[in-house]
Amino acid sequence: MSTPSSATQTPHLIRKKVIAGNWKMNKTAAEGVTLTKELLDEIGRETSVDVVICPPFTALASVGQALEGQAVKLGAQNMHPEKNGAFTGEISAEMLRTLYVTHVILGHSERRQYFGETDALVNKKVLAALANELRPSLCVGETLAEREGGKTLDVVRTQTEVALAGVKPEQLTSVIIAYEPVWAIGTGKVATTAQAQEVHAFIRSLLVSLYGAALAAKVRILYGGSMKPANAPELLAQPDIDGGLIGGASLESRSFVELVKAAKAAM
């Protein structure tokens, strides 16, 4: 029998899986609390998987209250890199912290596509989040045209390297990376496990070259893009897929709970 490579041998021991729900622009505060309570009934004490829910800003306070004393963590979907000032419509890391937010999605492809976020801006946000002890979930991923043009790895390399510029080695394991092929988000078109694993392994190899193997082995890299209970077990069984960033399937308790259970079973 051949000896398993270190990549397949150790990840489950050193990387706790993460299931993060990105509610996007869905749920009022009251609806968010209802969904949160349903989730807590089933997975409120789940500690073998890191579970994060990311409601819209307007639901953070009430969902945060519902989460008090529970293992499920609270994330925001975006933030501004500055501490405060004349930035109409924006929210700072410090403001999120006062609502007991611990995680923040940064550089989501919808932010890049509809709100013009560049890699340089995403980098500022990552650094600001870390400086405020928020854990960034940094999203990277190629469009369909980029994949078809053979540019997937180049795009992901640039997005990852620029976004992480200035992140210190001791901060790296606070960063979660989410590989989300843009063509798979909300489309029902999931990347094949081989396509996803290839990019995840590539991202980890980038981290090895930037930070060394020991630190790179500790970073969680999530897959996002039409992940649901039916396709999750196979994706989560891949050596470099450490969880999921879930859009559509996070809006309903049953499917989100099933995804958390799938991640637990894959550990």
List, by residue number, the catalytic residues.
Answer: 108, 180
Query: How far is Cα 125 from Cα 228, in angstroms, rounded to an integer?
Result: 29
Phi, psi of 221 (to 5 degrees): -120, 115
Binding characters for ligand PGA, 130-169, by CB under 6 A (x = yes): ----------------------------------------
d(CA 266, CA 19): 12
Q: Does residue 21 touch ligand PGA according to CB under 6 A?
A: no
Alpha-carbon radius of gyration of the chain: 17
Judge contact between 27 and 36, C-beta under 8 A.
no
Candidate residues 112, 240, 247, 263; the one interacting with ligand PGA per rule CB under 6 A: 247
Among 246, 259, 260, 266, binds ligand PGA (CB under 6 A): 246
Number of residues that bind ligand PGA (CB under 6 A): 13
In the complex with ligand PGA, the residue whose CB is nearer, 171 or 255, is 255
- If the CB atoms of residues 105 and 129 are measured against ligand PGA, the closer one turns out to be 105
- Give the C-alpha separation, 124 to 135, whole Å: 14
227 binds ligand PGA (CB under 6 A): yes
Residue 73 burial (CB count, 10 A): 19
Distances (CA, A) of 3 to 7, 88, 246: 11, 57, 34
Is 197 a binder of ligand PGA (CB under 6 A)?
A: no
Nearer to ligand PGA among residue 204 and residue 228 (C-beta): 228
Contact footprint for ligand PGA (CB under 6 A)? 22, 180, 185-186, 224-227, 245-249
